[in-house]
Structure 1
Amino acid sequence: MSGAQPLAVTMNEGVILDVEVRRERIQRKVDEGYCDRITDKIDEALEWVMDAKKKEVPISVGLVGNAAEVHPELVRRDIIPDIVTDQTPAHDIYSYVPTGELSEVDNLRQKDRKEYRKRALDSILIHTNAILKMQEEGAICFDYGNNLRGQAELAGVEIRRDDGKFKYPGFVPAYIRPLFCEGKGPFRWVALSGDRADIEEIDNELLKTFPEDLSLIRWVNLAKGKIPMEGLPARICWLGYGERAEFGMIINNMVKNGKIKAPIVIGRDHLDCGSVASPNRETEDMRDGSDAIADWPLINFALNAIAGASWVSFHHGGGVGIGNSLHAGMVIVADGTREREKRLERVLTVDPGIGIARHVDAGYERARDIAIKKEIEIPD
């Protein structure tokens, strides 16, 4: 499991059963406020979630167990969740924990990696077949971007349809791509002062700047109350083309005028509209078949460099494992100077802009409409 899942579900007033093999990881998330309850007993976990569902009360339950054992048991009991996804570290086969005594498999990982890999793939086969069975019984299933389906294919699972597409989709083609067509993606900033009051000032300015974005307003208000800050104070939200540049310059002006105590580092996730080539995640099932074309993240990397980013990076493996994706990163520091304002405008324009161009090139009408609306010049 990850801490994000239980909190995301309860923030949206849902009920979640989250399976995690290591008790201490669930306990940490309970202590931090991400997860509500913890148990080692499947019957107790099911009693809690079924009762909450009946009463329509949000709850997150962390069940200590292995998904390759729990999921088939749920199928056997004819307990089919409304939604099923997975965030085991399947992208790295040596981090995925196979069934068996935990101390024994941890020891096996160190002593016999070949056998560990075999057992991990055997467990992935069982785990994924259970997800497919849940899908057959009516569950909405989607891949979270951790390459479980890719590993399942290696394990011998019939994970693809006759047309070559996966039997259950990744979350990007299923839900996120229309936002990518608008140049929207994860946009984040960190307060170098270490003072969370700086983040609160920016939160307030964000709400004033985009008062018509109801999902953004809902997110910020929920995040302020429910998400603990660890390390340097930070915030993340989804902003689109034009919005990022506008708000980046607003932050820079806040630094200049002393409303913020120190410079702000602005960046984004490697998951974004134009910075990735990842056939099993961000660029899965592209309309023109360009899933694996890596020119786009390279262009993104170069554009951000010449536009004046504080630093740029190029890396691979994000989410789906080393060798399975290529992606570019960028960061720019808002220090309150006029020179940095110019750079912020350039970087925060070209970074999402190439994402719109990438989707126009792939044949998405929504991206073309946005390009016309935003007056982005894209060659035919």
Structure 2
Amino acid sequence: MSPKFLDQLSKGIPLEPLPPPGTRNPNVPHAPVRKVPLTPNEHEIAINNALRYFPIKYHELLRAEFKEELQNYGHIYMYRFTPQFSIKAYPIEDYPAKTLEARAIMLMISNNLDAAVAQFPQELVTYGGNGQTLSNWAQFWLVMKYLCEMDETQVLVMYSGHPMGLFPARPGGPRVVITNGMMVPNYSNPGDYDKYFSMGVTMYGQMTAGSYCYIGPQGIVHGTTITLLNAGRKYLNSSSLKGKVYVTSGLGGMSGAQAKAAVIAGCVGVIAEVSLAALKKRHEQGWLQEVAKDLDSLIERIKEAKINGEVTSIGYHGNIVDLWERLAQEYEKTQQKLVDLGSDQTSLHDPYNGGYYPVSLTYDESQKLMVSDPPKFKYYVQLSLRRQIVAINTLVEKTGMKFWDYGNAFLLEAKRAGAPVEHPDDTSRFIYPSYVEDIMGDIFSLGFGPFRWVCCSGLPEDLEKTDQAAADVFLELLQDKELDPDVNVQYQENLKWVQEAGRHNLVVGSQARILYNDCAGRSKLATRFNELIKSGELKGPVVLSRDHHDVSGADSPFRETSNVTDGSKFTADMAVQNFIGDGIRGATWVAIHNGGGVGWGEVMNGGFGLVLNGENSATAQSLLLWDVNNGIARRAWAGNKFAVKAIRKEMERTPGLKVTLPP
């Protein structure tokens, strides 16, 4: 029997009695106030759009309230209807839905909105500054009600956070189909997003926020760890990062993983963060080991850690531009190279709404100016980006430091700000690579990407059993005497990851794990998990999913497809085909998004969730075969040698798979 408070989820929007007026909870962080680029008529439409979720008798009362929210925060979140119980991933049997699949989706939505997981929980922002699970609290209540009511002959259709309703559908098809931010192409620039989000008719789902598949910062820890290890091999010609210093920024949503990843990779991670709340959160969670109060003490600590070959993570409460400029000055003064690797993980997909805080202003000053005077705030952001690039360029040119763009539109926005980042021989390229272009692209082309699963029982011991199952699968795969050497390296590193994952305390929220894997590994794991579920060794079902940042999941010319060199990196057929293909192959839910990582209008990406129930291994095999090899085939057609050999191997393994290849 579900806890009594969860029974509220089946009742829809709470109206009888109406909850008391809501306010922003001062004990949790909040999304930056957004500008409202609406005409008086559009302003009225936005309020009416929010009111249509409620019976007419409540409109007079709620109208003034929603008008105030829109004016004060730039969006109508409906704070009055924030749930008064703790939202988190409860054991699956606690959710009051008719079907196993619906209960699993409710669990995943709950995890996305858990205050320990979400970046701005009251604004339904899971990560990335504006990546929402849903757009307002009325939608939350309606979605949960529909999921409680649905049976196996219905599908819930989601339009950018809005539950359009339950529609009859065949059993075996997706139970939820999600689109986020789909726009007519000529209306898909950042200004359009500001306008239509304010009006409540679209939203930014980031990647796994709007597809209900976020698993906390663990989701990016593994990828960042792999990036650092491969950067060490590629740039430093070393398999060890001992005594190497990695400087970056951001400890908020996804970027909060950087400190943990640096330690797992074995280096000194130095991360600047302007938000004291975000820095404290990561430090208290144990993800960040040290905090430096000022630049003088930070510089001395970097020198000490570098000399001693320490492995640690150091957070600096301050602006990343100040840090880069001080590092450049320190080199000019001492000729001592302090930094080996550098990047940036500020949310520059949304630079003028809190995604980037300029060095010229304090955190609080920025919060105010971005609303009161957007053009002036933009001026300071672009000035700050130019200064940041000058300092980075100095360190690269004079010390040999290696720098890459982390797929957050850093170089794109720096170029737009007038910073010297264009490649001298090709204005469509930058002087620094994207981490996918230079480090991770070939790994994607081999078919490896951020596979993940969630143990729906909520039991840590179930996660331990799945970790062991994953290690066993890798050991089996490594027995293949004809295993490709490039694949062997990936299996070895990922075996080490999953064997050590438990001791790194990566779980925040649901009992989940991320593991870079290829089609063979994913398929074997799905079968093994189903066997454990059927035998009763696992005490509940398992949700399979992945980051959209994967082999086939995202068409993103400045990130996921930046190493596609046949001119097709600006097309989006792959991500759309993947969404459709996953749906017809039995995914429990599917999602396709505009935006994610590098920004609105800059990427199309999609994902899926599949509930393993002990009986559906054949469905999992079909789905995973497509979900991985769609992207490998596209990359092979573009001429990537790693993708060509990977898809040739898959065609040998899989009857009926025939892929068009270049000569």
TM-score by length of structure 2 reads 0.56
Q: Which amino acid aligns with 1:196?
A: P
SS class of match (2:426): coil
Measure the CA separation in 1 of the matches of 2:572 and 2:506: 36
1:131 aligns to 2:392 (yes or no) = yes
Q: Which residue of 1 aligns with 2:93?
A: none
Whether the aligned pair in 1 keeps the contact of 2:473 and 2:521 (CA below 8 Å) is no
Q: Cα–Cα, structure 1 residues 181 and 36, in superposed 2: closer, same or farther, change >3 Å?
A: same
Indicate the residue corresponding to 1:110 in structure 2: 371
Contact residue 193 and residue 263 of structure 1 kept, 8 A: yes
- Match of 1:237, SS state, is strand
Question: Helix, strand or coil: the match of 1:308?
Answer: coil
AA aligned to 1:117 is K
Contact 1:192 1:265 in 2 (8 A): yes
- What is residue 455 of structure 2 aligned with on the other side? 191
Question: In structure 2, what is the equivalent of residue 68 of structure 1?
Answer: 321
Residue by residue, what CA displacement relative to the aligned partner does 1:164-208 show, whole Å, maximum 9, x if unpaired?
321000000111111111211000001111111111100011111
> Does 1:361 find its partner at 2:625?
no
AA of the residue aligned to 1:83: L
| Alignment partner, residue 469 of structure 2 | 205
Matched, 1:84 2:342: yes
Contact preservation (8 Å) 1:192, 1:263? yes
How far the C-alpha of 1:285 sits from its partner, in A, is 4.0
Between 211-220 and 345-354, report the one with greater CA deviation.
211-220
Amino acid at match of 1:215: E
* Aligned counterpart for 2:561 among listed residues 283, 293, 309: 283
1:40, CA displacement in angstroms? 2.0
Cα separation, 2, equivalents of 1:139 and 1:80: 9
Report the Cα distance in structure 1 between the residues aligned to 2:618 and 2:362, rounded to whole angstroms.
Answer: 57
Shift of 1:147: 0.3
The two structures, once aligned, show a CA RMSD in angstroms of: 1.4
**Which residue pairs with 1:174 in the alignment?**
438
Q: Which amino acid aligns with 1:90?
A: L
Q: Could you say what secondary structure the match of 1:318 adopts?
A: coil
Contact kept in structure 2, 1:90 and 1:148, CA below 8 Å: yes
> Sequence identity of aligned pairs in percent?
31
Aligned to 1:153: 415
Structure 2 letter corresponding to 1:173: E
- CA–CA separation in structure 2 for the residues paired with 1:32 and 1:3: 11
Tell me the distance in 1 between the aligned counterparts of 2:390 and 2:589: 43
Letter in 1 for 2:374: R
* 2:659 is the alignment partner of 1:378: yes
Q: CA deviation at 1:228?
A: 3.5
How many corresponding residue pairs?
378
> Does 1:345 pair with 2:603?
no
CA distance in 2, matches of 1:46, 1:77: 9
1:226-237 residue pairs with structure 2 within 5 A? 226-237=504-515
Residue number among 590, 597, 600 corresponding to 1:312 in the alignment:
590
Amino acid at match of 1:163: D
Gaps of 5+ in 2: 1-249, 332-336, 479-490, 652-656
* CA positional deviation for 1:319: 0.6
Following TM superposition, by how much is the alpha carbon of 1:106 offset from its aligned partner in structure 2, in angstroms?
Answer: 1.2
Q: Is the 8 A contact 2:544 2:611 kept in 1?
A: yes
Query: 1:127, CA displacement in angstroms?
Result: 1.3
2:497 paired residue number: 219
In 2: Cα distance, 1:227 partner to 1:166 partner: 37
- Residues 136-182 of structure 1, C-alpha deviations (whole Å, 9 max, x = no match): 12111001111011111110012111223210000001111111112
Q: Is the 8 A contact 1:32 1:228 kept in 2?
A: no
Q: TM-score, normalising length from structure 1?
A: 0.96
Match of 2:426 in 1: 163
Give 4+ residue runs of structure 1 displaced > 6 Å after superposition: none
User: Quick check: 2:451–2:515 contact (8 Å CA) kept in 1?
Assistant: yes
Deviation, 1:219, is 0.8
- Cα shift at 1:271: 0.5
Q: How far off is 1:260 after superposition? A: 0.8
Q: Distance in 2 between matches of 1:3 and 1:271?
A: 17
Q: Which residue does the alignment assign to 1:97? A: 357
- 2:44 is aligned to none
Give how far 1:128 is off. Answer: 2.2
SS at match of 1:291: coil
192-201 or 75-84: bigger deviation: 75-84
Structure 1, unmatched stretches of 5+, are none
1:208 partner amino acid: D
Rg: which structure is higher?
2
Q: Distance in 2 between matches of 1:345 and 1:154?
A: 44
**Alignment-mate amino acid for residue 364 of structure 1:** N
Question: Is contact 1:191-1:265 (8 Å) kept?
Answer: yes
Deviation at 1:80, TM superposition (A): 4.6
- Please say if residues 314 and 328 of structure 1, whose CA atoms lie closer than 8 Å, have aligned partners that are also in contact: yes
CA distance in 2, matches of 1:207, 1:242: 14
1:283: Cα distance to partner?
1.0
What is the DSSP-based 3-state SS (H/G/I as helix, E as strand, rest coil) of the residue aligned with 2:550? Answer: coil
Partner secondary structure for residue 315 of structure 2: strand
SS of 1:300's equivalent? helix
